[in-house]
Amino acid sequence: MNECMSKQGFFSLRPCGEPAATNCATCSRPVCSRHLSPTSGFTQCLDCTARGVEGDALRQPGSNPGVDDDREWAYGYRRGYYASHSYAPFNYGDDDSYYDDYDMRSFDRDLGTSNAGITGTDADGKPDWTDS
């Protein structure tokens, strides 16, 4: 019997290890009944469902599905989201976001000390936020 490969735990993550009920239809990993997503009709693990929902969320209002560039649809979504909530504390223009290309460029990974363990980056260079 395969064991569920989902992770669990609050303070630290560990494998679930329960007997698997099935395999996730998306990632094919063995998954137990507790880690199957009810919103997927119990065909996907919670993890895959959440990643799918996140992808959909980021393509919602204001997105431009014709543009392949991740950056474009992310900008587009944000503009649409804030506009739909009448949120305009800053200078959001019609054709641009609050941050322009000049602002964005300096936060590209290759311009940061991305592996230096400095604020804004984590162990593998993925950006996050602050240390204590």
Partner 1 sequence: MLQRPPRALYSAFDRFPSRKGAGVHIARFARTLFDYTGGGLLYALGGDDFPAHQIEDDVEIVRFSSPFDNYLERAGAFADRLGVLLDSAGDSLRVAHFRDPWSGLAIVTHPHRCRTIFEVNGLPSIELPSAYPAAAPSTLEKIARVEQFVLERADAIVTPAMTIRDHLIGRGIAAAKIDVIPNGADVAQIDGQHDDDEAIAAKPYILYFGSLHPWQGIENLIRAFARVRDLEHLQLVLCCSHESRQAKAYMRLAEKLEVAPRVIWRFGLSAAQLAPWLRNAMLSVAPLTECARNIVQGCSPLKILEAMAAGVPVIASDLPAVRELVTDGVEGLLVQPDRPAALARAIRILFEYPDLRASLGGEGRRRVESTFTWEHAAARLRAVYLRELQ
What is the separation of C-alpha 109 from the centre of its chain, rounded to a whole number of angstroms? 17
The verdict on 67 binding partner 1 (CB under 8 A) reads no
Cβ 69 to partner 1, closest distance in Å? 11
Residue type, 34: R
**Interaction between residue 69 and partner 1 (CB under 8 A):** no
Contact status: 27 vs partner 1 (CB under 8 A): no
H helices, E strands: number in the chain: 3, 4
Binding residues for partner 1, total number by CB under 8 A: 68
Instruction: Please report whether residue 108 would count as binding partner 1 according to CB under 8 A.
Output: yes
**Least Cβ distance, residue 5 to partner 1 (angstroms):** 10
Q: Is 29 in the site for partner 1 (CB under 8 A)?
A: no
In three-state form (DSSP H/G/I as H, E/B as E, the rest C), the secondary structure along 27-58 is: CCCEECHHHECHHHCCCCEHHHHHHHHHHHHH
Cβ pair 83, 98 in contact under 8 A: no
The full 3-state SS of 64-91, as one line of letters, equals: CCCCCCHHHHHHHHHHHHHHHCCCCCCC
Interface with partner 1, residue 2, by CB under 8 A: no
Q: Tell me if 94 contacts partner 1 by CB under 8 A.
A: no
Q: What residue ranges bind partner 1 (CB under 8 A)? A: 6-13, 34, 37-39, 46-51, 53-55, 57-58, 60, 70-71, 74-75, 77-78, 81-82, 85, 87, 89-90, 97-99, 102-109, 111-124, 126-132
